Amino acid sequence: MYRFEPNLRIPGPTHLPPSVREAGGRQMINHRGPEFAALLARIDRRMRVFFGTQQEVLLITAAGTGGLEAAIVNALSPADRVLAVPTGAFGDRFAKIASVYGADVTRLETEWGRAADPAALRAHLAADADYRAVLLTHNETSTGVTNPIAALAAVVRELAPEALILVDGVSALGAVPFAMDAWGLDVVVTGSQKAWMAAPGMSMIALSERAWLAADEARMPRFYFDLRDARKTAANGQTPWTPAVAVMYQVDAGLELMEAETPAGVFARHAACAAATRAGLEALGFRLLAEPAFASNTVTAAWIPEDLDWKAFNGEVKARQLVLAGGQGKLKGKIFRVGHLGAVNLDDILGAIGVLEEVARMFSRPTEPGAAVAAAQRAVLAAVEARPAAAEGVPA
């Protein structure tokens, strides 16, 4: 059956709502003028709510990876001892950036698909806590696992109180509760093309007071990503270099929608879409990668069954305009991923599960018509009932 628009189910760039698309087509303004200053201030103010911080949220014209590099080079000096806690390809990338800039990186490994374990971190730090920084990934996009940042950070604060906690929050911040200040985090990074419903091109970053002090002493070379310049110019309503103005228009429009929906509404919508995705995929016989207790509310990874010709299967899926993501790093060719973040509604998920049902039938896989979609719908009801109470420091 012909479909008029693709169902873009990758974990970013995400589908743009109408008002965000309109914002992307706006005329340019002077990035040294008052209209721009108001835009910058508005994004900062609204972003703080989702970061859970009273610090200012600064903008960098770069992909999320550029934001991660900014986190590293502003906090650290060459030869600093750094503990990386990778749980997938993006955790590896964060560690690699630190190594490239000369940090002395120790890795606390976690099996891909599992969350970083606070007890393992405790054991490691009990033996060796002499670190300048700990690198954590909030949501590991490559595996669909959301790490327990609050618990991990609490262990660091207890056993390595001087260590800076740098968090890759690129692919879930804005979609799930987060509390930078309450959890004692020092640097948090996110990206415009994820929960924020905008095109890629901007990275948002916030630093604790402690991190700002560290930035003054850090000796890794930096120019474009020097956040001291970003902070100084932000005080005058500007950015140090010409920013991606149209992406800022879009982030601003996305935040307006998120404010209207309320953070609690945004979080509940993501939780429901995630529950529907997981249940639908399982009903289709796919085995999920992520440890269930830490399954991500923004992206779900599933194993490709050994007896399935994925290329042919995904070809039929693509022909129906459903766009899925593949695996990354050592999971390439072994898993596929379904993005459910940003401007996602249950309709999109039920539609995607419907397409997968249809294609599964073509490949003679067990599929009672409607069963997977029904499972997805049932999971939503369960998710709504299980909705947790608000936690301390988390926006509601």
Of these, 247, 276, 353, 379, which contacts a second copy (CB under 8 A)? 247
Q: Which stretch binds a second copy (CB under 8 A): 159-167, 217-225, 261-269, 366-374?
A: 217-225
Of these, 58, 82, 95, 97, which contacts a second copy (CB under 8 A)? 97
> Where in 335-364 is the site for a second copy (CB under 8 A)?
none
Of these, 15, 124, 270, 337, which contacts a second copy (CB under 8 A)? 15
From first CA to last CA, the distance across the chain in angstroms is 41
> Where in 174-213 is the site for a second copy (CB under 8 A)?
191, 193, 199-201
Residue 394 beta carbon to a second copy: minimum distance, rounded to whole angstroms: 27
Residue 79 beta carbon to a second copy: minimum distance, rounded to whole angstroms: 13
254 touching a second copy, by CB under 8 A? no
Instruction: Choose between 53 and 142: whose C-beta lies nearer to a second copy.
Output: 142
> Where in 23-52 is the site for a second copy (CB under 8 A)?
23-33
Of these, 63, 95, 255, 376, which contacts a second copy (CB under 8 A)? 63
95 touching a second copy, by CB under 8 A? no
Residues in the interface with a second copy (CB under 8 A) total 57
Residue 378 beta carbon to a second copy: minimum distance, rounded to whole angstroms: 30
Q: Which stretch binds a second copy (CB under 8 A): 58-66, 273-281, 282-290, 383-391?
A: 58-66
Instruction: Choose between 2 and 388: whose C-beta lies nearer to a second copy.
Output: 2
Residues interacting with a second copy, by CB under 8 A? 5-6, 8, 10, 12-16, 21-33, 61-66, 69, 96-97, 100-102, 191, 193, 199-201, 220-225, 240-247, 250, 323, 325-326
